Amino acid sequence: VGGPRVPQILPADILWEKEGDNATIQCSHIMGATYYQMYWYRQLPGETMKQIVYTTANTNPDFEPDFRDEMKFTAKKPNAESGTFTVKNLVPEDNGLYFCAVSEHSDTDTCGS
């Protein structure tokens, strides 16, 4: 009944990949085309969750400063309802939880005096 809608993100499988390989994570949702903003996060053991990248459909990903200079990750978003995130050249230190989240577009108006 009334209240905010919570995005329904379809769960991904656990990935087991070999050292040196790439791991690609799929993310999709059923909230519709207005939820076109996608965020990818990582939580390493014993650490807090950190945002890695923000993407929208068919644009270049916007990596957070701590991850901007690395060629470790790629993010692709071919449409509003799905995207992929790849961790390249896996090493044991990449072991952790990786999350995606989606957000609906919003506009903010400001008025000057």
Mean pLDDT score of the chain: 84
Q: 0.85 exceeded by the pTM? A: no
Instruction: Show the beta-strand stretches assigned E in the chain.
Output: 23-28, 37-43, 50-55, 62-63, 73-79, 82-87, 97-103
Torsional class of 94: left (φ above 0), alpha (ψ -120 to 50), beta (otherwise):
alpha
Q: Which fold has domain 23-103?
A: Immunoglobulin-like (2.60.40)
Q: What is the CA radius of gyration of the chain?
A: 16
pLDDT digit string, tens, across residues 48-99: 999 999 999 989 999 999 998 778 999 999 999 999 999 999 999 999 999 8
